[in-house]
Amino acid sequence: MPVVLQTVGLLIVSNVFMTFAWYAHLKELNHKPWIVAALLSWGVALFEYLFQVPANRIGHTQFSVGQLKILQEVITLSVFVPFSALYLREPVRLDYLWAGLCLCGAVYFVFRAPAPSREVASPPGEARQVAPEHAPPPARGEDVDAFGTD
């Protein structure tokens, strides 16, 4: 399965848990002391992390941290709006559309260039190398080596 599908799928599941952890107590536990809501939310958040950590590890093989963060924000809004409307019975506001459009702009700016290259972890004692799939393409008209001899 492609990295992007694995990452997005895991982040969607993670965000469903996160949204419940952050907001479900407003409906279900509003009559309980806040510490009870906090502890139960923390338990739900564990499941968020069980999906979020692998999503970011898988995604980081292809995306920069900034790209992962913007991807997560888009997914968060995509999960939050239906949750807010269907579960919490809050009205859907036009402001959600404007926020979504701002996120589209963020997606454009963060994804318009390939993720920067980064070093790949190597076993102890071996030299670290840059992953070839993350190496930036040569600049326009640049087909010389680092010393300008080719």
**Residue 142, in any domain of the structure:** no
In a domain, 23, yes or no: yes
Question: Is 140 contained in some domain?
Answer: no
Spatial distance between the Cα atoms of 38 and 119, rounded to a whole number of angstroms: 39
Kindly indicate the confidence band of residue 128, based on its pLDDT and cuts at 50, 70 and 90. low
Q: Tell me if 73 is assigned to some domain.
A: yes
Average of per-residue pLDDT across 16-23: 94
The count of other CB atoms within 10 Å of the CB of residue 19 is 20
Q: Where are the alpha helices (DSSP H) in the chain?
A: 3-19, 25-28, 34-59, 65-82, 94-111
**CA-only gyration radius of the chain, Å:** 21
* Mean pLDDT for the stretch of residues 53-63: 95
For residue 111, what pLDDT band results from cuts at 50, 70 and 90?
Answer: confident
Whether 74 maps to a domain, the answer reads yes
pTM of the model: 0.72
pLDDT mean across residues, the chain: 84
CB-based contacts of 4, cutoff 8 Å, min separation 6: 59, 62
Report the amino acid identity of residue 51: F
pLDDT at 49 over 90: yes
Beta 119-120 vs 129-130: how paired, if at all?
A: antiparallel
For 89, the domain range is 3-115+127-134
- Structural domains counted in the chain: 1
* Count of CB atoms situated within 10 Å of the CB of 71: 23
Cα gap 42→48, rounded to integer Å: 10
Please check whether residue 143 lies inside any domain of the structure: no
- Residue 54 forms part of a structural domain: yes
**CB-CB contact of 20 with 27 (8 Å):** no
Domain annotation covers residue 84: yes
Band of residue 11 on the pLDDT scale cut at 50, 70, 90: very high
Provide the pLDDT for residue 146. 46
